[in-house]
Amino acid sequence: MTPPKNHPRTQHLKGKHILLVDDDAWIRDSMSICLSCEGCRVTTAETAQQGLAFLRQGGVDILICDYQLPDRDGLDLLREAKGVAPEIPVILITAFGSRQLYAQAAGIGVDIFIDKPFNSQTIEHAIIRLLEDPPKRPSH
C-alpha cells in the first residue's frame, strides 16, 4: 500500500528527477502521471539512445529502464549509463526475468529488479527504498 500524500516516506519523492526508459507508451504515460502526482519530475524515453541523451544532460536522480528496448537491450544501455553517471541508482523492469539476467544486471550495477506486470505502488516503493537507503558503491 502506498503511504498517503504528505506522508514522510512520499516526501522523499518530491523534486526527484526520474528517467524512465521503456518502449511501451502505456507504461511511460501511466508511470509518468503517477510519479508526477507524487512530486517527481519525470523524463521519459522510448529508446536507449534517447535515454542516454537525457542522462548526459545531467540532473537525473534515478534511472528506471526496461530490459527489452527497440534499439538495444537494457543491459547495454545500463553499461553505458554507468559510464555517464556511475553513482546513479538503477531499477530494471522486465518481463523476461531469469537468474542469468539478474546476475548480469547486478554485475552492471542494477539495484532493484521489478518483474512485469507491476503497479505504480511497486515502482514508488522501490524508488523510496533507493532514496532512503542509497546503494553503496565501491570507491575507485
- Look up residue 30 and give its DSSP letter: H
- 13 confidence band (pLDDT: 50, 70, 90): confident
Angle between helices 74-84 and 48-56 (to 10 degrees): 10
Q: 15-88+108-118: what CATH class?
A: alpha beta
Q: Are 31 and 7 in contact (CB under 8 A)?
A: no
Domain extent listing, the chain: 15-88+108-118
pLDDT tens digits, one per residue of 98-115: 899 999 999 999 999 999
pTM > 0.75: yes
Residue 139 has pLDDT above 60, yes or no: no
- Look up residue 73 and give its DSSP letter: B
Mean pLDDT of the chain: 89
pLDDT tens digits, one per residue of 58-94: 999 999 999 999 999 999 999 999 999 999 999 999 9
Q: Pull the grid cell for residue 102.
A: 539478474
